[in-house]
Structures are given as structure tokens and as C-alpha cells.
């Protein structure tokens, strides 16, 4: 495996770094109404300059960059202080599914507006009664002329309060032999009478979550993604990408590690315990970087490797923020300044082992699919 | 960036695995405790393992540490006794680089040179013509004046070596380079040892029934083995990166070697704990093979620097700016 960047890769990095340096500016949190609106504007700027979805084909707003180049872009983006992407549920979760399962009409209809933040998507999978056991979900769709009418309730829908469309998983065949065989993936317009969204607060203080209530909401046949009753396969294909790669690229954690290094130099220089902790955290961040590179280079063909990645980065993020909080000492409970950034990051990091498939589920997957232990 | 292990690397690893399967069974490892044999050494030397990381213009195969690393992981999986990994990763390349008169012998196995990493405990010293010692001053060669030291792992043939009249072979930077290579070679073996520990435990958990079902169905068993596997899978890419940096002369090589050794030491230690726990009492018995891998992993997790000292080295490199940060390097 060749681990050297090509001249093109290095030029790509330089170009990204320069553009970001000239354009990145602080925004309000994208999990607030004001910040979300600012985020849309930012995403449009990224899109117009060709940076929103670099690895997509140009016809959909990308620049046909390779996956390693996408990793480079992410490293530069996070290092430059780029804000979390309000389009992420669309571009990182739904888009791979559209590329894999979508019809040409659906791709034409949805991908460009998604990348340009003309339409921002939220995920509508989990329910109050169905989290880890997602296949048990009860939101149902009944057949009508030209489409489906959906009734039920979804929750943990990040940023759904301000989104335009929902990527939903609903039950279309209540009589299916196994629960997961009766589900369909649907792309639903939020702006219709049958959809009600109620935002609510998250641990880090932002109203980033939402419940979504469907009351006979309509979804046209043309907005079914993949086969009717084939939604589980669509969802599982995309959760591989969500967990492993696109949701949390190594660049994000490289940037956190660089900030940690500065924090240690500033607050604990000469402290051997802090030094050793930093050394360990840096090492574990590098593990994730390199494992991702190898996955992308095709060295790991196993979808279950995405479970390894998710376990690793989510645990890392908590440990890294725990360390930062320890370095801050009494200031760690402040919500302003540099301490506030770390404190909010700590709250957010705590969700990592929970979302995108809990770490308990991920360990089961590693044990059963990678190690071959019996399901039982 | 190009994907996948290339044909040459794959062929080498396959050949090494075949020799190990044939010559280094668990029974052979166990027997070496008593008979001091070095199973598979002759065959692996014949395969060219000692010449693998020696550049072609120095008479070697020139395939680099990048090719040697996966072979050493395989050696770890088999718990191969002996210092072949150090001979191949440290001794042969160094003697070739400095044009030593024993360079050819080190490459083809005719001459054996033992290495003192600085601890004064030297593996296979009694079979060596002389000792390469890593000291505060640098790298020195010296005669073998050694007495056998009993060890927990009976397959580890360690000797306490007293310093004789030294012959300077290199300076501090050579010493650091050799220590980092030795740490990397040991890290690779630790990854292999850990993998075998987990696969042994997995197999046990599949067949051992209690309460009417395989114990591998219990989440407590699944989760500790999953965590153990995770640590190993995340340590291994660091060995590849370190090997790449050495082969290309990149200045980050020793820091990545430190990361690899620290991560592998920690991961193999965790794997050993999980494997032992899953085996239950069986794992605490010397009659079961598990202890052969366990004891080797304990020894190698601390030889050539333990996890803590290597994490400290990483921290120093970050503090002193001797480590070029990822976004500023020409390599991934």
C-alpha cells in the first residue's frame, strides 16, 4: 500500500486550506434556529465553490475527488474551524443510499438541492419504543392512490425543527414474517399538514433534537427509496457508512487532538501525567486515521470494520474531552470562552457511544460478525 | 494511494505462514521450553527473512520493513521462539548500512549477533558471536559474556550480559533508530500474539457450553473479546505506518514506532486478560496452550520499551516539535 500523497493530493490540500482560510468564520451552533440558518448560507458558499461534496460526481455538485482526497478536505475543514455541517444527515447518510438504491430520477431530483442546502434533510428512524431494536418500529404507512399515508411518531430527529425533508423508515407490511422484512425507506416532505415537528433540548444545551408526528402524511410512490418492504436493506447499507466513515471523519479528531496538545502546553506543561495521557490520546487518534485510510484503500472489505471504527472514535472523543475537562479543573463547568467549547464538546461526546448504533450493539456486531461468536 | 498488500508481500507472508504451520506448532513452542530449540528458524532464514529489509544495493531483498512487518505479525501468531524478528529488523539492516564485515553473515544466517536494547537482558546471547549494545553513548559492539537468566516464559532465552571492551559502531541517533526498529518488530509480534489469544478464546467460547448454551452467546464474553479485537485492529495500522516511514527515511519513523509499540503492548495485554478470563480455570493451567501465548505477550509488552515509556516518547515529540504533524507531511 502506498502511503505517500500524490502531487495532486498535496495540491488539493493546499487549495482547500487556502479557500477555507479565506472563508471560514464562526457561526452560531447549527443546532439552533439562528445557527441553522447561518449554516444554510455557509453550505451554499461551500457548494458554489465546489467544496460541499467533493467526492460526488460533478453533475451533482461535486468535483469527483477521490475518497482519500475527501479525507484530506475533512482534515483541512476541521483544522480551519469549519462549523458542523447542517447538511450532514442528507449528504452523509441519505446520499450514499440514493447513489446505491435511488432511481436516476430521484438522484436528479434530490442530490443537488441536498448538497446546496436548498433542501436540508433530517433522519426519522428511531421511535420512543424503537431505538436499538429499530426493526420493531411502529410508524406505519397504508397504501393510497399514487403513494402512501404515514401515521406514527419518530424521535431523536436531529435538527428536524428546521429541515425541509425527512429520510424516514416506516412499516409497510405489518404481516411480514420477521419485523425487519416489512419496512420501507421513504423521502417525506416536512411541509405538509400531516407532519408536526417539536424540537427539544439536548445535553449540550441546544434544541438540537426533535420529535416528528405523522398524521396521515403523504409520500408519493416516486419518493420511496429502494424496494417497497426493502427498507431494512437500504437502512443497513447506509448505517455502515454512517458508523464507519462519513459521519465522523478522522479530520475531526485530528483537530481535537491538536487543540488538546495546545491545551496541555498552555495548562500542564511539565506535568508528566498529562504528557503521557496526551501521548496515548494522540496515538489512538492516529490509529483511527490510519485505519480509515486502509479501509478506504480497500484493504478492509468487511462492513463490520465500520463497527470497529465507531467504537473507537466514540470512545476516543469521550476520553479526549474528559482529559480536557481535567486540565481545565474548576473552569470546566463554565459555559463561556475556551472552557465552554470544551464543556459543550464533552456533553456532545457523551452521545457518541449512543447514536449511530450504541456501542453495546456495535460490540455484539464485532463479536458475532467479525469473531464468529454465536448469536444465542 | 494504492490499495492492498502487493503480490510480493502477500507471497512472503503466505510462505512464512506455511513454514510456521509446519515447523512451529504449539507443541514445538512448548517443547522449546525444555530443549532450547529454535523451531522454524532455519527454514525462515532460508526463505530470506533476514535479508528482507536489507536494501538491494547492500545485498538484500530490498522489500523493506513494510514487507517484514506482516511476516512478524504471523510470527507472533505462532509465538515463534527466538530473536529472529530482531535479527531481521535491527541487526541485518544496520550491519549492512555501516558496511560491517559481518553484514553478509547476518543476512544469510551464518553469523549471529545478539542485541541488548539497553536493559542488559539479551535474547539468545549464547548463540551469538558478539553483542550489539544500545547504550547511553550510542551503539557499541562487544564480546558475549553472558549468564542465563530464568524467565517466566520458558521460550524466551534471556541472558544477562556484562559489558566487555566496547567497539563503537554508531552514535546516539543510530541507537535511537535501532531501538525504534526493535520496538516496531516487537510491536508486530504483539499484534500477532494478541490475535491468536483472541481467536483461541473465541474458539473456546464457541464450544464451551454452560447453562445449556455456548458461553460465547453471553454478552459479557462477547464484549470483552470484541474490545480486545478492536485494540489489536487499531494497533496494526500504526505498525504499517512506522514501517513505511523507516523504509522511506521519513523523520516521523521513530515516533510512529513508539505509537505502534505502545498501542500493541496495551492491546496485547488487554487481549491476554480477556482470553484468560474467557478460558476460565482452563486458562490458568499450564497444561493448556494459552499460557504459552500469555507469557510471551507479557514479556514482549515490556521488552523494547513498555507502553508508558513509548507514550511518553510520543508526548516529547509533540512537545519538542520533532514530530511533523499529519497535515504537514507528504505522506498520509
pLDDT in tens, A262-282: 999 999 999 999 999 999 999
Query: pLDDT confidence of A241, banded at 50, 70, 90?
Result: low
- Read off the pTM: 0.96
Q: What is the mean pLDDT of chain A?
A: 94
pLDDT exceeds cutoff 80 at A161: yes
For cell 479530520, the residue is A251
**The pLDDT value given to residue B279:** 98
**The pLDDT value given to residue A243:** 54
Q: Tell which B residues from 299 to 318 touch A, by Cβ distance under 8 Å.
A: 307-308, 310-316, 318
* DSSP character at residue A86: T
B259 contacts in A (CB within 8 Å)?
Answer: 282-283, 286-287
**Distance, CA of A62 to CA of A51 (rounded, Å):** 7
Instruction: Give the up-direction half-sphere exposure of residue B308: CA atoms within 13 A in the CB hemisphere.
Output: 4
**Distance, CA of B27 to CA of B33 (rounded, Å):** 10
**The pLDDT value given to residue A300:** 54
Query: Are the beta carbons of B1 and A3 separated by less than 8 Å?
Result: yes
CB B232 within 8 A of CB B271: yes
Q: Quote the radius of gyration of chain A (alpha carbons, Å).
A: 21
Residue A281 three-state SS: helix
CB A197 within 8 A of CB A161: yes
B51 in contact with A at a CB cutoff of 8 Å? no
B229 contacts in A (CB within 8 Å)?
Answer: 308, 366, 370-371
**Distance, CA of A146 to CA of B318 (rounded, Å):** 62
Q: How many CB atoms lie within 10 A of CB A337?
A: 10
**The pLDDT value given to residue B4:** 46
**The pLDDT value given to residue B331:** 76
* DSSP character at residue A90: I
Q: Tell which B residues from 214 to 253 touch A, by Cβ distance under 8 Å.
A: 214, 216-219, 221-223, 225-227, 229-230, 233-235, 237-238, 240-241, 244, 248
Grid cell for residue B156: 524466551
| Pairing assessment for the beta strands A140-144 and A147-154 based on DSSP bridges | antiparallel
**The pLDDT value given to residue A3:** 79
Instruction: Find the CB nearest B4 among A258, A278, A298.
Output: A298
Q: Which residues of A are catalytic?
A: 242
Q: How many CB atoms lie within 10 A of CB B308?
A: 16
Instruction: Give the up-direction half-sphere exposure of residue B300: CA atoms within 13 A in the CB hemisphere.
Output: 41
The one-digit pLDDT tens for each residue of chain B (332 residues) are 333 467 888 898 999 999 999 999 999 999 999 998 999 999 999 999 999 999 999 999 999 999 999 999 999 999 999 999 999 999 999 999 999 999 999 999 999 999 999 999 999 999 999 999 999 999 999 998 889 999 999 999 999 998 778 899 999 999 999 999 999 999 999 999 999 999 999 999 999 999 999 999 999 999 999 999 999 999 999 999 999 999 999 999 999 999 999 999 999 999 999 999 999 999 999 999 999 999 999 999 999 999 999 999 999 999 999 999 999 988 77
Instruction: Find the CB nearest A276 among B214, B308, B331.
Output: B308
- Residue B48, min C-alpha distance to chain A (Å): 22
Residue A372 three-state SS: coil
β-strand partners of A219: A148
Query: Are the beta carbons of B238 and A298 separated by less than 8 Å?
Result: no
Torsion of CA A35, A40, A44, A50, to 10 degrees: 80
**Distance, CA of A203 to CA of B281 (rounded, Å):** 44
**The pLDDT value given to residue A272:** 98
CB neighbour list of residue B332: distance below 8 Å, 6 or more residues apart: A3, A4, A5, A68, A290, A293, B1
B8 in contact with A at a CB cutoff of 8 Å? no
**Distance, CA of B240 to CA of B260 (rounded, Å):** 9
Closest CA to A89 of A13, A162, A26: A162
**Distance, CA of B229 to CA of A302 (rounded, Å):** 14
pLDDT exceeds cutoff 80 at A304: no
β-strand partners of B134: B139
CB A294 within 8 A of CB B236: no
**Distance, CA of A33 to CA of A35 (rounded, Å):** 6
β-strand partners of A106: none
**The pLDDT value given to residue A87:** 96
* DSSP character at residue A195: E
Residue A186 three-state SS: strand
Query: pLDDT confidence of A1, banded at 50, 70, 90?
Result: low
CB A290 within 8 A of CB A254: no
A245 vs B227: which has the higher pLDDT: B227
Q: How many CB atoms lie within 10 A of CB A282?
A: 25
H runs (alpha helix) in chain B: 7-23, 26-35, 41-47, 64-77, 84-86, 92-97, 103-108, 172-207, 219-247, 253-279, 290-302, 307-320
Q: Tell which A residues from 209 to 228 touch B, by Cβ distance under 8 Å.
A: none
**Distance, CA of A190 to CA of A197 (rounded, Å):** 8
For cell 485494540, the residue is B231
Query: Are the beta carbons of B330 and A4 separated by less than 8 Å?
Result: yes
Closest CA to B52 of B89, B17, B99: B89
A301 in contact with B at a CB cutoff of 8 Å? no
**Distance, CA of A204 to CA of A374 (rounded, Å):** 39
> What ipTM score was computed for the predicted complex, to two decimals?
0.96
* DSSP character at residue B119: S
Sign of the CA dihedral running A235, A237, A241, A243: positive
A68 in contact with B at a CB cutoff of 8 Å? yes
Q: How far is CA A127 from CA A33, A110, A287, A300, in A?
A: 23, 25, 34, 33
pLDDT in tens, A173-221: 999 999 999 999 999 999 999 999 999 998 888 889 999 999 999 999 9
Q: How far is CA B35 from CA A189, A222, B27, B216, in A?
A: 76, 74, 12, 37
Instruction: Give the up-direction half-sphere exposure of residue A24: CA atoms within 13 A in the CB hemisphere.
Output: 17
CB neighbour list of residue A46: distance below 8 Å, 6 or more residues apart: A52
Closest CA to A205 of A333, A98, A113, A61: A333
Amino acid at each position: 500500500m502506498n502511503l505517500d500523497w500524490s502531487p495532486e493530493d498535496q495540491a488539493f490540500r493546499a487549495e482547500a486550506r487556502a479557500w477555507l482560510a479565506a472563508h471560514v468564520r464562526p457561526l452560531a451552533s447549527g443546532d439552533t434556529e439562528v445557527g441553522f440558518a447561518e449554516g444554510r448560507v455557509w453550505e451554499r458558499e461551500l457548494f458554489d465553490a465546489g467544496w460541499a461534496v467533493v467526492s460526488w460526481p460533478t453533475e451533482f455538485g461535486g468535483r469527483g475527488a477521490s475518497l482519500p482526497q475527501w479525507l484530506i478536505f475533512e482534515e483541512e475543514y476541521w483544522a480551519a474551524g469549519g462549523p458542523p455541517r447542517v447538511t450532514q444527515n442528507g449528504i452523509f447518510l441519505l446520499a450514499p443510499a440514493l447513489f446505491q438504491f435511488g432511481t436516476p430520477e430521484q438522484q436528479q431530483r434530490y442530490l443537488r438541492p441536498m448538497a446546496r442546502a436548498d433542501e436540508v434533510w433530517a433522519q426519522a428512524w428511531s421511535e420512543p419504543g424503537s431505538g436499538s431494536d429499530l426493526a420493531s418500529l411502529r410508524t406505519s404507512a397504508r397504501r393510497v392512490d399514487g403513494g402512501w399515508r404515514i401515521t406514527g411518531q419518530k424521535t431523536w430527529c436531529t435538527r428536524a425543527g428546521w429541515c425541509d425533508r425527512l429520510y424516514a423508515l416506516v412499516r409497510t407490511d405489518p404481516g411480514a414474517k420477521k419485523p425487519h422484512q416489512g419496512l420501507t425507506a421513504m423521502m417525506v416532505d416536512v411541509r405538509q399538514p400531516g407532519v408536526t415537528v417539536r424540537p427539544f433540548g439536548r445535553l449540550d444545551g441546544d434544541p438540537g433534537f426533535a420529535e416528528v408526528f405523522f398524521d396521515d402524511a403523504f409520500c408519493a410512490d416516486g419518493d420511496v427509496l429502494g424496494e417497497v418492504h426493502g427498507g431494512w436493506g437500504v437502512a443497513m447499507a447506509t448505517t455502515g457508512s454512517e458508523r464507519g466513515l462519513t459521519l465522523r471523519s478522522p479530520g475531526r479528531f485530528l483537530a481535537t487532538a491538536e487543540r488538546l496538545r495546545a491545551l496541555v502546553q498552555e495548562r500542564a506543561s511539565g506535568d508528566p501525567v498529562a504528557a503521557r495521557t496526551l501521548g496515548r490520546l494522540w496515538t489512538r487518534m492516529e490509529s483511527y486515521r490510519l485505519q480509515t485510510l486502509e479501509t478506504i484503500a480497500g484493504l478492509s472489505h468487511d462492513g463490520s470494520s465500520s463497527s470497529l471504527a465507531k467504537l473507537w472514535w466514540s470512545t476516543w472523543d469521550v476520553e479526549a474531552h474528559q482529559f480536557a475537562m481535567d486540565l481545565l479543573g474548576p473552569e470546566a463547568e463554565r459555559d463561556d470562552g475556551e472552557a465552554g467549547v470544551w464543556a459543550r464538546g464533552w456533553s456532545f461526546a457523551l452521545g457518541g457511544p449512543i447514536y449511530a448504533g450504541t456501542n453495546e450493539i456495535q460490540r455484539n456486531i464485532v463479536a458475532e460478525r467479525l469473531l464468529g461468536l454465536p448469536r444465542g | 494511494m494504492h490499495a492492498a498488500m502487493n503480490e510480493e508481500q502477500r507471497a512472503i507472508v503466505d510462505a512464512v505462514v506455511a513454514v510456521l504451520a509446519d515447523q512451529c506448532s504449539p507443541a514445538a513452542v512448548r517443547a522449546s521450553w525444555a530443549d532450547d530449540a529454535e523451531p522454524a528458524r532455519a527454514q525462515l532464514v532460508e526463505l530470506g527473512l533476514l535479508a528482507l529489509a536489507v536494501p538491494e544495493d547492500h545485498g538484500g531483498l530490498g522489500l523493506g520493513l513494510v514487507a517484514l512487518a506482516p511476516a512478524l505479525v504471523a510470527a507472533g501468531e505462532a509465538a515463534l521462539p527466538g530473536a529472529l524478528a530482531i535479527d531481521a529488523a535491527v541487526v541485518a539492516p544496520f550491519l549492512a548500512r555501516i558496511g560491517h564485515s559481518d553484514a553478509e553473515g547476518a543476512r544469510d544466517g551464518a553469523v549471529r549477533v545478539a542485541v541488548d536494547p539497553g536493559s542488559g537482558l539479551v535474547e539468545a546471547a549464547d548463540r551469538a558471536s558478539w553483542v550489539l549494545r544500545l547504550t547511553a553513548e550510542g551503539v557499541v559492539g562487544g564480546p558475549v559474556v553472558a549468564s542465563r537468566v530464568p524467565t517466566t516464559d520458558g521460550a524466551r532465552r534471556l541472558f544477562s550480559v556484562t559489558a566487555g571492551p566496547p567497539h563503537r559502531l554508531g552514535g546516539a541517533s543510530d541507537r535511537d533508530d535501532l531501538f525504534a526498529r526493535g520496538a516496531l518488530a516487537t510491536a508486530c509480534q504483539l499484534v500477532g500474539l494478541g490475535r491468536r489469544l483472541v481467536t483461541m478464546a473465541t474458539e473456546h467460547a464457541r464450544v464451551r457450553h454452560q447453562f445449556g448454551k455456548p458461553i460465547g452467546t453471553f454478552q459479557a464474553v462477547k464484549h470483552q473479546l470484541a474490545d480486545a479485537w478492536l485494540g489489536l485492529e487499531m494497533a496494526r495500522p500504526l505498525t504499517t505506518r512506522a514501517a513505511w516511514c523507516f523504509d522511506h527515511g521519513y523523520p516521523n519513523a521513530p515516533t510512529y514506532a513508539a505509537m505502534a509499540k505502545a498501542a500493541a503492548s496495551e492491546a496485547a495485554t488487554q487481549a491476554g486478560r480477556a482470553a484468560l478470563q474467557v478460558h476460565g480455570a482452563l486458562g490458568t493451567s499450564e497444561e493448556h496452550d494459552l499460557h504459552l501465548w500469555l507469557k510471551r505477550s507479557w514479556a514482549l509488552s515490556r521488552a523494547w520499551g513498555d507502553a508508558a515509556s513509548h507514550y511518553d516518547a510520543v508526548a516529547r515529540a509533540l512537545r519538542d516539535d520533532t514530530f511533523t504533524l499529519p497535515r504537514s507531511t507528504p505522506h498520509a
